[in-house]
Amino acid sequence: MNEITGRRENTRDRLLELAEAAVLQKGFGATSIEELIAGVGISKSGFFYHFSDKGELAKALLLRYIERDNVILDELFAQADALNEDPLHGFLVALKLFGDMMGAMTEVHPGCMVASVCYQEHLFDREIHALARDGVIAWRRRFRARLDAIVALYPPKLPVELDDLADMLSVMVDGGITISRVTRDPVLLARQIMLYRAFVKAVFLGA
């Protein structure tokens, strides 16, 4: 990578970081190109070198957010699998690690980019909507695969649809983010994750 290419990539990364913080704080509609270029210290033409319009910026933000979340989940589950080969107890370990990670936050979670897109869906085209939907479905499939492996060894003690149980983790995380921001409680999200963990344990092991 030459010096010019490195500077361009660094500028793009800075734009994405600043845009993500602004969008999560006040929404995509309230985030302007002008504030982003002022924050990064480039011209408007410099912005359009990296992104053809705000829609292209939204796409890049969403892809970046989903990829980062997937990396975090990959690492958590890999660590859990290394600690416990049993599918149920490995899943419980992963949830504990996830809860500990969220509990270590000293500030409230900044927010979810997928939720931000959903809340202002009228601002985006079908491609952005599809990316958000695909991200959510991918999380469902990830957790459902774990639950399928668990069911093979631990028949549920409670009647439950596995897709719903898989979605429940995303629901509790996104809901926990919202409530933690409203209440300014940085560890609320961690408590919600641990409640989900307790429910999963009850489903497969009984109360």
Indicate the range of 14-28, 104-118, 193-207 predicted with least confidence.
Answer: 104-118
- Domains of the chain with bracketed CATH: 1-51 (1.10.10.60), 54-205 (1.10.357.10)
- 67 has pLDDT over 80: yes
**Do residues 59 and 131 lie in contact, with contact meaning Cβ atoms separated by under 8 Å?**
yes
Please state the three-class secondary structure of the chain as a single string. Answer: CCHHHHHHHHHHHHHHHHHHHHHHHHCCCCCCHHHHHHHHCCCHHHHHHHCCCHHHHHHHHHHHHHHHHHHHHHHHHHHHHHHCCCHHHHHHHHHHHHHHHHHCCCCCCCCCHHHHHHHCHHHCCHHHHHHHHHHHHHHHHHHHHHHHHHHCCCCCCCCCCHHHHHHHHHHHHHHHHHHHHHHCCCCHHHHHHHHHHHHHHHHHHCC
* Per-residue model confidence as pLDDT tens digits over 117-174: 888 888 888 999 999 999 999 999 999 999 999 999 999 999 999 999 999 999 999 9
State the pLDDT at residue 7: 59
The answer to whether residue 23 scores a pLDDT higher than 50 is yes
Residue 8 pLDDT level (bands cut at 50, 70, 90): low
What was the pLDDT predicted at 118?
86
The amino acid occupying position 206 is: G
Whether the per-residue pLDDT at 21 is higher than 60: the answer is yes
- Angstrom distance (rounded) from CA 47 to CA 187: 37
**What is d(CA 27, CA 25) in angstroms, rounded to the nearest whole number?**
6
pLDDT for the residue numbered 144:
98
Span of 3-12, 70-79, 121-130, 176-185 with lowest mean pLDDT: 3-12
Report the distance separating Cα 1 and Cα 92, nearest Å: 43
57: closest CA among 44, 76, 73, 71? 44
- Give the global pTM: 0.88
Statement: residue 6 has pLDDT above 80: no
What number is the average pLDDT over the span 92-105? Answer: 96
pLDDT at 145: 97
The residue-averaged pLDDT of 24-28 equals 91
What confidence score (pLDDT) does residue 4 get? 47
